[in-house]
């Protein structure tokens, strides 16, 4: 993440704002934003003319407006910051690995942010006016499904929002997105092009259009934002020209609720009805405020938040709802009732320490790194002044994006009706938001003793839900949780949460009994809780592969599906290939290589033994490469996949190379020297880049030039077209060339990922057939060979050697 700061030059800042007080205090966000935009424009011009910096930096200016000497100490100062990241090339969407992910950190006390989305494309005829989709989410990467694929059962999709960028007869698009009172912390942006067209593009031959995307973040944060005191009246005021004021409240751990009151509104010392509007909390999407109360027409107003986020600052914004050209004074009073887990005795501490020792020994035996996620706390005494039971969970880090949570005391968590039972899952690490959080709860139905009781559970981030009942919507102050309902008939529940938000996650459970059922009130249900953070769900199943990706230092996991399966976890079989289809595809791609058998026979009959050996090599590795390259269950790999792929590509190009040189009818020594040099060069080029078109076209063009020179030389010397026989042209060369051209056309223009099984099989058949037609006939001077002549020489001097011996003597 790039970040730069520089004071804004006076030439880039509106003089009218300087004349109106010399600083940013007392001005609205809109005025400051306008000033910052002018400042950035001046900074861009200065950067281009004086410093020579790239325009993508947008001057990255930080401007601060200082309080004048005559200013009031309570006046506020706004500071702007701009964050930018490197532009990235966008890809068409096929799976989550095609998105371009950007991560920004929004600082605390930010009252306004603006996303500056810059997209551009090449000015080429093949560049279309397509749409770029940009997704936003706080706390973790966006969970998206652009293709409309379904998610696995029991999967809860977190909220995210998106915007679309289009090119309307232009090569650039600049879009702005504003968010007021944004949630401080990590924000993620994911950008991608529409659905992949599934065309197989040949590198160096197919020319594609390049789409570039770069996001920038402009934030406006308030310096020295006043902090309100708890359980005490806080004297505040608001008035023109800003007409709004910001305050912050710290919510400690174990806070049960937040009660905020706005009282005693006065105008010039005279009590009036409060012409104010109160907004509490942050926004995670544009034009959204969690809690907004209008106090117009009343002398006071109050805001009640159940289960506010723990250990976090909350912003309170007070605005004038009426146009009043005077300061309105008021009081803010708030309280934070605390829900303590209660004290534990020495015996319970000793029991927990023994449990920790046992767990640590077991973790060391398995090689896991275990650490306690919170201070050891056991069930408090019922007589103590507590409102929850907290059970310690140990966090064991297994690998990247792989965590296990285990209870210290017992695998089964006791759940009663009087107080909720709570567990903490610590997912505060930046790496924890890139996997799949899986929480499973199982009720031991025998502990209900055939009573009509229900165990309610709620999984939430930031703070737990401490009031559970049958009408529960599992919602905290700013977070929509995930609920579980268990009873005698439904005794198990599972929640799969892809890319969980970076925060402390809490699971709270409570036994809910019918009214006037004293027996049920005394029951203790036992619930088996298992929680884990995995890179992917079930390792993406049988038809997927879990891959670990990295974008700008941030690591996350995603599934890439095969055999027509789709979905976030490769569980959507809407377009899946059947097993029969997979077997047929494998047989087509492998058995089509048997077309080389007639070609090998023709080469042997024409006494081209080296060429026949090359065709055998090509047929063998092409067959087993395609047997290993299948996406489904019909797969057989006799070697490493990369080795098979290299040998297949290498053999194909060498086969074309030796075939064209064989057609040139060169003398023996030049022919085999070119065979060897070309093979060595092809081996080197395949190692550098085996998917490039020129790795195949380069040797083929050189061999074709040698062929043209050789045929032209013979034609000029004989004063006759070469080859001289019209039968050779009509029955061999023209059919062979036609088959080769058809094969190249299918390979370049018609082959897609959908019809790959059929078109590539046709490529095998046509290429092998064209080679059989194009091989030249046997030279007239050479006699046909027999196996007896090759193996019956024994210890005698062979015929050619005797002739040379006679000549020497």
Mean pLDDT of all residues in 391-415? 90
24 pLDDT more than 50: no
So what's the pLDDT on residue 802?
A: 47
So what's the pLDDT on residue 37?
A: 47
251 pLDDT more than 50: yes
Both structure tokens of 288 = 């959204």
So what's the pLDDT on residue 693?
A: 76
DSSP 8-state assignment for residue 429: S
Report DSSP letters for 217-260, one per residue.
EEEEEEETPPBPPTTS-EEEEE-TTT-EEEEEEEE-TTB-EEEE
Mean pLDDT of all residues in 515-532? 89
Mean pLDDT of all residues in 752-770? 91
So what's the pLDDT on residue 748?
A: 83
Mean pLDDT of all residues in 105-110? 93
The per-residue pLDDT of the chain, averaged, comes to 82
430 pLDDT more than 70: yes
- 8 Å CB contact between 535 and 544: no
Label residue 497 by pLDDT band (50, 70, 90). very high
- 8 Å CB contact between 531 and 438: yes
So what's the pLDDT on residue 77?
A: 79
Number of H helices, E strands in the chain: 15, 34
Label residue 515 by pLDDT band (50, 70, 90). confident
CATH number of the domain located at residue range(s) 346-534 in this protein: 2.60.120.680
So what's the pLDDT on residue 778?
A: 84
CATH number of the domain located at residue range(s) 234-335 in this protein: 2.60.120.380
Please name the residue ranges forming H helices in 391-432: none
User: For the whole prediction, is pTM greater than 0.85?
Assistant: no
Mean pLDDT of all residues in 443-458? 89
Label residue 234 by pLDDT band (50, 70, 90). very high
So what's the pLDDT on residue 145?
A: 93
The residue with greater pLDDT, 363 or 105, is 105
363 pLDDT more than 60: no
CA–CA distance, 415 with 524 (Å, rounded to integer): 6
Q: Model confidence over 117-133: pLDDT tens digits?
A: 999 998 887 788 889 99
So what's the pLDDT on residue 781?
A: 65
548 Cβ contact partners less than 8 Å away, ≥ 6 residues apart:
400, 401, 535, 555, 556, 557
228 pLDDT more than 80: yes
591 pLDDT more than 60: yes
So what's the pLDDT on residue 521?
A: 87
So what's the pLDDT on residue 641?
A: 92
| HEC letters along 469-508 | CCCCCCECCCCECEEEEECCCCCEEEEEEECCCCEEEEEE
- φ and ψ at 50, to 5 degrees? -105, -45
So what's the pLDDT on residue 459?
A: 95
Mean pLDDT of all residues in 217-238? 93
So what's the pLDDT on residue 383?
A: 43
195 pLDDT more than 80: yes
Q: Helices 668-688 and 641-663 sit at what angle, rounded to 10 degrees? A: 150
Label residue 550 by pLDDT band (50, 70, 90). very high
Task: Count Cα neighbours of 54 within 13 Å in the Cβ-side half-sphere.
Answer: 6
Mean pLDDT of all residues in 403-427? 90
Q: Model confidence over 566-576: pLDDT tens digits?
A: 999 999 999 89
Both structure tokens of 559 = 């599934």
- 8 Å CB contact between 494 and 437: no
30 pLDDT more than 60: no
Tell me if residue 443 falls in helix, strand or coil.
strand
So what's the pLDDT on residue 791?
A: 53
Answer positive or negative: Cα dihedral of 16, 21, 23, 27: negative
So what's the pLDDT on residue 322?
A: 77
Can you give the residue ranges of every domain in the chain? Answer: 2-223, 234-335, 346-534, 579-774
Q: Answer yes or no: same fold for 346-534 and 579-774.
A: no
Mean pLDDT of all residues in 426-452? 91
Label residue 357 by pLDDT band (50, 70, 90). low
So what's the pLDDT on residue 205?
A: 61
CATH number of the domain located at residue range(s) 579-774 in this protein: 1.20.1070
Q: Tell me how crowded residue 501 is: count the other CB atoms within 10 A of its CB.
A: 22
So what's the pLDDT on residue 57?
A: 38
So what's the pLDDT on residue 295?
A: 87
Question: For the chain, what percentages of helix, strand and coil (3-state, to nearest 5) are there?
Answer: 30, 30, 40
Label residue 484 by pLDDT band (50, 70, 90). very high
Mean pLDDT of all residues in 42-54? 35
Label residue 468 by pLDDT band (50, 70, 90). confident
- 8 Å CB contact between 261 and 300: yes
Which H or E run includes 694? helix 694-718
Q: Model confidence over 611-625: pLDDT tens digits?
A: 999 999 999 999 999
Tell me if residue 683 falls in helix, strand or coil.
helix
Q: Model confidence over 719-746: pLDDT tens digits?
A: 888 888 889 889 999 999 999 999 989 9
What do you get for the CA distance between the two ends of the chain, in Å? 84
Nearest to 530 by CA among 493, 568, 580: 493
So what's the pLDDT on residue 516?
A: 78
CA–CA distance, 283 with 271 (Å, rounded to integer): 33
Please name the residue ranges forming H helices in 747-786: 756-774
The residue with greater pLDDT, 322 or 44, is 322
Q: Model confidence over 555-566: pLDDT tens digits?
A: 999 999 998 899
2-223 CATH pick, 1.10.260.40, 3.40.50.300, 3.30.565.10, 2.60.120.380: 2.60.120.380
Proportion of the chain above pLDDT 90, given as a percent:
53
Mean pLDDT of all residues in 15-24? 35
**Region for 96 from its dihedrals, namely left if φ exceeds 0, alpha if ψ lies in -120 to 50, beta otherwise:** alpha
CA–CA distance, 802 with 806 (Å, rounded to integer): 6
């Amino acid at each position: 993440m790039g970040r730069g700061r520089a004071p804004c030059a006076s030439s880039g800042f509106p003089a009218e704002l300087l004349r109106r007080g010399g600083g940013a205090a007392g001005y609205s966000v809109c005025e400051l934003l306008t000033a910052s935009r002018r400042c950035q424009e001046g900074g861009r011009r200065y950067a281009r003319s004086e410093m020579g910096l790239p325009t993508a930096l947008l001057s990255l200016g930080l401007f601060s407006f200082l309080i004048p000497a005559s200013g009031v100490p309570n006046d506020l100062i706004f500071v702007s910051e701009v964050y930018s990241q490197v532009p990235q090339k966008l890809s068409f969407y096929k799976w989550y690995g095609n998105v371009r992910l950007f991560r920004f950190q929004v600082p605390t006390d930010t009252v306004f942010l603006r996303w500056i989305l810059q997209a551009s494309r090449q000015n080429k005829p093949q560049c279309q006016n397509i749409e770029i989709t940009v997704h936003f989410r706080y706390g973790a990467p966006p969970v998206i499904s652009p293709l409309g694929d379904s998610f696995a059962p029991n999967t809860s999709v977190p909220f995210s929002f998106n915007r679309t960028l289009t090119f309307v007869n232009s090569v650039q698009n600049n879009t702005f997105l504003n968010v007021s009172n944004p949630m401080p912390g990590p924000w993620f942006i994911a950008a991608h092009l529409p659905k992949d067209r599934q065309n197989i593009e040949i590198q160096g031959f197919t020319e594609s259009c390049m789409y570039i995307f770069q996001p920038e973040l402009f934030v406006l944060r308030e310096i020295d934002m006043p902090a309100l005191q708890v359980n005490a009246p806080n004297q505040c005021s608001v008035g023109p020209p800003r007409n709004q004021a910001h305050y912050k409240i710290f919510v400690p751990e174990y806070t049960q609720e937040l009660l905020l009151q706005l009282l005693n509104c006065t105008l010039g010392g005279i009590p009036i009805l409060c012409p104010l509007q109160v907004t509490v909390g942050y926004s995670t999407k544009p034009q959204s405020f969690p809690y907004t109360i209008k106090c117009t027409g009343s002398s006071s107003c109050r805001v009640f938040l159940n289960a506010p986020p723990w250990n976090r600052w909350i912003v309170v914004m007070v605005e004038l709802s009426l146009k009043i050209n005077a300061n309105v004074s008021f009081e803010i009073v708030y309280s934070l009732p605390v829900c303590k887990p209660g004290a534990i005795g020495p015996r319970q501490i000793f029991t927990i320490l023994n449990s920790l020792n046992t767990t640590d020994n077991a973790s060391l035996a398995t090689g896991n790194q275990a650490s306690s996620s919170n201070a050891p706390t056991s069930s408090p005494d019922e007589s103590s002044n507590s409102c929850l039971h907290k059970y310690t969970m140990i966090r064991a880090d297994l690998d990247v994006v792989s965590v296990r949570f285990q209870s210290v005391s017992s695998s089964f968590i006791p759940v009663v009706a009087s107080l909720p039972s709570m567990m903490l899952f610590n997912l505060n690490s930046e790496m924890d938001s890139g996997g799949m959080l899986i929480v499973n709860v199982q009720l031991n139905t025998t502990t209900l003793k055939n009573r009509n009781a229900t165990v309610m559970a709620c999984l939430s981030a930031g703070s737990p839900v401490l009031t559970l009942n049958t009408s529960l919507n599992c919602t905290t102050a700013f977070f929509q949780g995930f609920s579980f309902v268990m009873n005698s008939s439904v005794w198990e529940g599972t929640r799969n949460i892809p890319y969980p938000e970076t925060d402390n996650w809490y699971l709270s459970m409570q036994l809910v009994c019918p009214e006037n059922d004293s027996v049920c009130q005394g029951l203790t249900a036992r619930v088996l809780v298992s929680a884990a953070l995995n890179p992917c769900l079930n390792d993406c199943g049988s038809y997927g592969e879990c891959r670990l990706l990295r974008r700008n230092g941030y690591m996350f996991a995603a599934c890439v599906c095969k055999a027509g399966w789709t979905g976030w976890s490769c569980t959507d079989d809407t377009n899946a290939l059947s097993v029969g289809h997979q077997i047929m595809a494998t047989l087509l791609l492998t058995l089509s290589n048997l077309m080389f058998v007639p070609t090998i026979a023709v080469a042997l009959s024409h006494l081209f033994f080296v060429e026949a050996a090359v065709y055998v090599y090509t047929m063998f590795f092409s067959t087993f490469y395609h047997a290993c390259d299948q996406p489904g269950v019909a797969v057989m790999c006799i070697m490493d996949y990369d080795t098979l792929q290299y040998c297949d590509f290498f053999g194909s190009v060498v086969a074309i190379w030796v075939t064209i040189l064989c057609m040139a009818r060169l003398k023996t020594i030049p022919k085999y020297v070119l065979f060897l040099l070309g093979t060595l060069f092809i081996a080197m080029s395949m190692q550098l880049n085996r998917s490039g078109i020129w790795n195949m076209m380069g040797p083929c063009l050189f061999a074709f030039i040698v062929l043209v020179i050789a045929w032209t030389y013979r034609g000029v010397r004989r004063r006759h077209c070469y080859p001289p026989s019209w039968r050779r042209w009509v029955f061999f060369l023209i059919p062979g060339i036609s088959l080769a051209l058809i094969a190249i056309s299918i390979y370049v223009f018609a082959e897609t990922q959908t019809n790959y099984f059929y078109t590539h099989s046709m490529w095998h058949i046509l290429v092998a057939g064209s080679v059989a037609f194009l091989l030249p006939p046997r030279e007239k001077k050479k006699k046909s060979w027999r196996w007896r002549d090759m193996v019956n020489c024994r210890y005698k001097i062979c015929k050619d050697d005797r002739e040379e011996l006679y000549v020497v003597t």
